Structure 1
Amino acid sequence: MDGLRAIAVLAVVFYHVGFAWMPGGFVGVDVFFVISGYVITRGLLREAEHGGISLAAFYARRIRRILPALVATLALTSLAAYWLLLPPQLEDYAGSAVASALSVANVYFWRSSGYFDAAALYRPLLHTWSLSVEEQFYFLLPVSLMLAIRLRLRPLWLPVALVALASFGLSLYAGRFAPTANFYLLPTRAWELLLGTLLAMLPRGAAGALPPVVRGAAGLAGLACIAGPTLLYSDATPFPGLGAVPPCLGAALLIGLGEAREGNAAACLLAAAPLVAIGLISYSAYLVHWPLIVLGRIALIRDFDTPESIAVIGATLVLAALSFRFVERPFRRPAAGARLRPVYAAGLLATLATVGLGWAGAASGGLPGRFPDFRIRSVPGSETWNHRTCFLFPDQSWQAWDQAACTRTAGKDGLVLLWGDSFAAQYVPGLMRHADQLPGNLLQYTAAGCRPTLGVASYVVPHCGAFNDNALALIRRLKIRDVVLAGRWGSQRDRDMPALLHETIARVTALGARVHVIGQSPEFPLDPAFLAYHQRHDPPDEAGRWHPIAERGINRTLWAVLPDTATFIDPFAALCEGGTCPYARGETFLYGDAGHFSSAGSLLAVERYLAAGMFAPPRSAAAAP
């Protein structure tokens, strides 16, 4: 079991530090869910066989197991956050700390962000959503099992299986209509934990009756079901639902096979001493790894390079080992005859203290007295996107789009279709201002999180496929002759993106339209107000510029797959020099947030793109990256 925990936590950590070769490491959380369901249920069933389930004793064990390491992590993270985070960041952090202490972090993050959002990279407690899912499950499972046993429901696994099937069906439904809720909330995740519950209800030793060859093949299949998604999934994979089935089944296979090593290469691998050692500290490792990553990025104001990523992994394991030795282990096993009341009192006191401190930080607006000269000001930009009509939200289908309202300029023959996500919509102010230089009237067709490539499967925007398919119908019906494709091309670790873009351009070109692709634009590690504050003492020739975090290499990849009939603009070539890009000009911010241009930034970008030949003959030398 510890070896499997190690596989799960390492997958999550490798994914979070940004290793490109493991774009689906987030499935490690699903492996943890199956393990948790199995371990908790097995313990409860053992109690039921020896006198009955004691809710008081169960919850006391959960408090001793979960709370000490969590409180220690929150305390150290909060101390670092006090010194590092500017007021808006600390205000959000404080709210998430309250939610984490109350076991509702999943609800908090569901209401305020998506797991794969760019802003999520800078939320130190985002990972506690999964702990809250488990803790909510722990509140419900023992009561449900106790009632089922008292009511003599037989077979006991049947009601569990029915609830798991209902949860799985709800996950499939929510994946299309409420994807963020599907990711974060217990009702759509319960089937993963209940898979472990069902596994614990199987007759003990059942796997031992299988021939060694069968056990070996099943073990390897279980490993493949976990390893495959970690290497092949990406942020673009619809998840959970069907996407979570392989890693969950893989975990169930490996748990079900037990530790019998005869002919079982998987069991031998998971029993390796290094994996067992990491598995023992996996809970603390999970707790500490994400605050280390986030606070490190904020302190450096950039992403980690490879040596730094390796150092973070090493620091995670060291801190986890210390937490296990000095926090987890002393509290986990009470002395003989220890009473339950002190456990509950200590748990309540620790929770109230965390909630109180978090409330103070949130209610004060992030303790602004720490940085009296910091200020946030409104930056115009996105209000011109025509939200919910021309810039659709994830809960909207393409039918909400309105052609008349989204024809943003007038006075010319023909149309220029601007197709993409928010990184296309950011160019609306600039394109409208430079309408006289466009080859037609601007028609805005944009949707949040929806990259303009046919065949894309978006977890964030369930209607994205239909939205993009409708773009072809628009081009055909309106006889559009110029199409501008723009998006956050580097937002998802999707290996299929270049091929999908190539196919999209071919389909658009076949309809007689010219295609103009705007590559990935610069993004920054923090909002411009934060960068400006950190640069407040820098010389004038350095202030207002910073190293971008968006990978410029993606633009070279895009350029390579474009046919000769398409025009390409590299925003880095047009806007940046010497490894830095401007986020401000004097007191004027060119960005409204860490990635999207403000109105002023949009005007500058479009002006540069037009000068670089955005609507010039294809393959203009000036437009090359």
Structure 2
Amino acid sequence: MQYRPEIDGLRAIAVLPVILFHADLSLLSGGFVGVDIFFVISGYLITTIIYQEMVQGRFSMWRFYERRARRILPALFVVSLACIPFAWLWMVPNEFKDFSQSLVGVATFTSNILFWRESGYFAAAAELKPLLHTWSLAVEEQFYILYPPLLLALYRFLPKALFLIISSGALISLGLAHWASSAHPSANFYLLPSRGWELGIGALVAIHLHRRRAAAASQEEVGFNSGAPFSRSIREIAGIIGLGLIAYAIFAFDETTPFPSLWTLIPVIGVALIILAADRDTLIGRLLGLRVLVGVGLISYSAYLWHQPLFAFARIRLFEGVPDGVYWALIVATFVLAYLTWLAVEVPARKRLKLPRPKILSGAVAGLLAVGIVGGMGWIKGGLPDRNAPSGLSFSQIDASEMTEVNHGLSSTCEGSFTLSPECRTGENPSVMVWGDSYAMHLMQALTSSQASETVDFIQFTKSVCAPIFDLAITDQKRGRAWSEGCIEFNSQVNKWLQENSSVEYVIMSSPMGIISSNTYDDSGNLHPTSDSKSIVMEKLNETADYIRSVGKTPVFVAPPPRTGDNLARCVIGNLVFGSGEGSENSCSFSQGEVSSGHQRVTQFLHSSELDMAVVDLSDYLCNQSGCKAAVGKTNIFRDSGHLSHAGSALVGRESNLLGAVMAAADSYAVNEETTH
């Protein structure tokens, strides 16, 4: 295969935005498209190699897998194994368990499936997962397993239809991706069926170029003179357009862009145009062929492998936040390690390791087994809680798993779907209904621990990210239209139950109200843009309150606890892990001025005179003039950046008699409203 330096330059254009994007430097909001650039390049290179060898009658499946093993596995083993000591030292048991699972995912080429399954609302923060980026390697590895036999079969039995069949497959995959971007966005992001079209585009480019070169060679034999697929002027224009499309995606896309979807065609077509047209005779080809870009491209695979572990472990160790200067130092370290890995591992494995193919393949299997076994042990043993932290305490003493345990309220059964399960009520005739999303769930311990709860029975209706508002739901890139319809249906079922049950006196509602700053979808199928959200949410929330009163119940809204946006639980845990110990709650407390702008918007919305129901603010119980508490003694208030922990919620309830305060506020509002009218 003829070497094209501009392809290595294109690899540099792919890896640099990804690294800067993951460094949270806000320079390139669409830097994640670098992965899509890699997919197209991979589809092109793999197909070029396989197709050329098939035409020449010398393709060997075993030789193909040997080359892939030499190319991918040695550096992957080095980086995966290098992560283990830092994970052992710094990760609390639930994090180490997740990390161990990711090692198993690496060893079985299923990282993308693992991270898809872990991508729910209550999943651990993605930025703390050192091997999260291996999902894209798993997509490619699955492609390598399935694609060569398929291509070989098509070439042998349907050679004339090969291009058409691959085109049709890519089109189907693209259609699936666009549909799933709203219906199943998480699966769409991680899984091969909706990513395959990007690799397929690269494959089509490879087949087209091979056939054009073959046709040109044939023409030369009879005196014709054309080895180039396009004229010089067309190649120049195509290369400029291609680079422009990639640049547009990198700078204009952001986390709200449905991905992958039809929008992904922009960078993918850009890459295809460059591969098709921008050879070393063109301006873009020469630009991408610059030595500095080619150099970065050559080490891009190792750079991609190193950057995420460095960033993730920095976030774990510097739990109060990673300064920009540290990120820049880590970026430099990424490329230093990448160069050393390329020089000492990649090049020898690919070019100098003279071993028979059976030994290469058996060594690859042995390495995968070793990584998988190490990961399996950490996974089965629950993250090895008996390890000692740098502070000298064992992780079982720190008990971080309990501190960060998801707070589903009365039971995990009460999350996600409408249920009348006995686990989601405390009596047959509940007088208090708790309704909302995860910020309603985490109130249950506070309410049931309140002094006023001794003679009160509760029932819980909760669904994550589903605000307690009839006929309206959030819709965004993570939660598509199908999810929104499910939220509206859930609240409709709550509505019906409320009509039919006379025992309920109070309806306690809660949500962080992210719906006021997102697109919304109503039960009539109308989509309301973010600019209209506050007004439509206020209107629907007041209609909901009016309806609750019309069926003889009293509504009251509990505002979410104050938050800064930082993971307050990790701050408390970090102090324990790294040696601060007692008094950790003091260093993790925060002032009212540090409260996030997003929380301030929600507070302003809920305390607006336009809202027609009583509102109780948890700030009144968590904050004073000196600041807001993240922990009291050894009890952490929060389990993450905003949800109350089990113990923290119960503590708030006991100290503030929260249920009594909520009922008093609801009754007072009802009396004032009657007096006013």
TM over 0.5: yes
The alpha-carbon distance between structure 1 residues 16 and 381, as it changes in their structure 2 partners (threshold 3 A), is closer
Match of 1:575 among 618, 622, 630: 622
The aligned counterpart of 1:52 is 58
Matched, 1:374 2:398: no
SS at match of 2:195: helix
Separation (CA, whole Å) in 1 of partners of 2:241 and 2:68: 33
> Cα offset for 1:156?
1.7
> Cα offset for 1:80?
2.2
Mapped contact 1:33–1:192 kept (Cα < 8 A): yes
The aligned counterpart of 1:107 is 113
Separation (CA, whole Å) in 2 of partners of 1:579 and 1:520: 16
Match of 2:559 among 518, 521, 531: 518
Mapped contact 1:416–1:442 kept (Cα < 8 A): yes
Mapped contact 1:385–1:428 kept (Cα < 8 A): yes
TM-score (norm. length: structure 1)? 0.79
Mapped contact 1:423–1:486 kept (Cα < 8 A): yes
Separation (CA, whole Å) in 1 of partners of 2:293 and 2:516: 32
The aligned counterpart of 2:478 is 459
> Cα offset for 1:575?
3.1
Match of 1:254 among 270, 274, 286: 274
The amino acid across from 2:10 in the alignment is: L
Q: Show CA shifts across 1:93-137 (max 9, x none).
A: 223212212322223323333599543222211111111111111
Separation (CA, whole Å) in 2 of partners of 1:354 and 1:405: 41
TM-score (norm. length: structure 2)? 0.74
> Cα offset for 1:314?
1.8
Moved more, 350-359 or 571-580: 571-580
The alpha-carbon distance between structure 1 residues 350 and 161, as it changes in their structure 2 partners (threshold 3 A), is same
The aligned counterpart of 1:448 is 464
SS at match of 2:209: coil
The alpha-carbon distance between structure 1 residues 518 and 19, as it changes in their structure 2 partners (threshold 3 A), is farther
Mapped contact 1:423–1:488 kept (Cα < 8 A): no
Count of residue pairs brought into register by the alignment = 601
Separation (CA, whole Å) in 2 of partners of 1:101 and 1:555: 42
Matched, 1:123 2:147: no
> Cα offset for 1:68?
1.4
Map residues 420-569 of structure 1 onto 2, 5 A cutoff: 421-430=437-446, 446-450=462-466, 454=473, 456-460=475-479, 463-467=482-486, 486-487=511-512, 489=514, 499=531, 501-508=533-540, 511=543, 513=545, 518=559, 521-522=562-563, 524=567, 530-531=573-574, 533-534=576-577, 538-539=581-582, 541-543=583-585, 546=588, 552-558=596-602, 565-566=610-611
The alpha-carbon distance between structure 1 residues 577 and 294, as it changes in their structure 2 partners (threshold 3 A), is farther
Match of 2:377 among 354, 360, 377: 360
The aligned counterpart of 1:224 is 245
> Cα offset for 1:272?
4.5
Separation (CA, whole Å) in 1 of partners of 2:386 and 2:426: 44
Q: Show CA shifts across 1:333-377 (max 9, x none).
A: 247x76323322332332233233333333443344432733237
Separation (CA, whole Å) in 2 of partners of 1:362 and 1:403: 32
The alpha-carbon distance between structure 1 residues 526 and 261, as it changes in their structure 2 partners (threshold 3 A), is farther
The alpha-carbon distance between structure 1 residues 428 and 268, as it changes in their structure 2 partners (threshold 3 A), is farther
Mapped contact 2:242–2:271 kept (Cα < 8 A): no
Match of 1:277 among 295, 299, 303: 295
Matched, 1:348 2:365: yes
The aligned counterpart of 1:291 is 309
Matched, 1:155 2:158: no
Separation (CA, whole Å) in 1 of partners of 2:169 and 2:599: 47
Separation (CA, whole Å) in 1 of partners of 2:153 and 2:20: 41
Separation (CA, whole Å) in 2 of partners of 1:40 and 1:493: 41
SS at match of 2:109: coil
The aligned counterpart of 2:152 is 146
Mapped contact 1:450–1:461 kept (Cα < 8 A): no
Separation (CA, whole Å) in 1 of partners of 2:430 and 2:97: 49
The alpha-carbon distance between structure 1 residues 366 and 430, as it changes in their structure 2 partners (threshold 3 A), is closer
The aligned counterpart of 1:209 is 230
The amino acid across from 2:394 in the alignment is: D
The amino acid across from 2:409 in the alignment is: T
> Cα offset for 1:210?
5.1
The aligned counterpart of 2:550 is none
> Cα offset for 1:279?
1.9
Match of 1:164 among 170, 173, 176: 170
Separation (CA, whole Å) in 1 of partners of 2:261 and 2:545: 38
SS at match of 1:201: helix
**Higher helix proportion, which one?**
2
> Cα offset for 1:249?
2.8
The amino acid across from 2:463 in the alignment is: A
The aligned counterpart of 2:415 is 391
The aligned counterpart of 1:87 is 93
The alpha-carbon distance between structure 1 residues 352 and 551, as it changes in their structure 2 partners (threshold 3 A), is farther
The amino acid across from 1:253 in the alignment is: L
The amino acid across from 2:482 in the alignment is: H
Mapped contact 1:589–1:601 kept (Cα < 8 A): yes
Q: Between the two proteins, what is the percent identity of the paired residues?
A: 31
Structure 2, unaligned runs of 5 or more: 1-6, 214-227, 500-504, 520-527, 547-555, 670-677
Separation (CA, whole Å) in 1 of partners of 2:331 and 2:466: 33
The aligned counterpart of 2:43 is 37
The amino acid across from 1:552 in the alignment is: S
The amino acid across from 1:251 in the alignment is: V
SS at match of 1:126: coil
Matched, 1:585 2:632: yes
> Cα offset for 1:554?
2.4
The alpha-carbon distance between structure 1 residues 544 and 2, as it changes in their structure 2 partners (threshold 3 A), is same
> Cα offset for 1:320?
1.3
Separation (CA, whole Å) in 2 of partners of 1:9 and 1:575: 44
> Cα offset for 1:9?
1.7
Structure 1, unaligned runs of 5 or more: 618-625
Q: Show CA shifts across 1:25-56 (max 9, x none).
A: 33322221111111111111221233331112
RMSD (Å) for aligned C-alpha atoms: 4.6
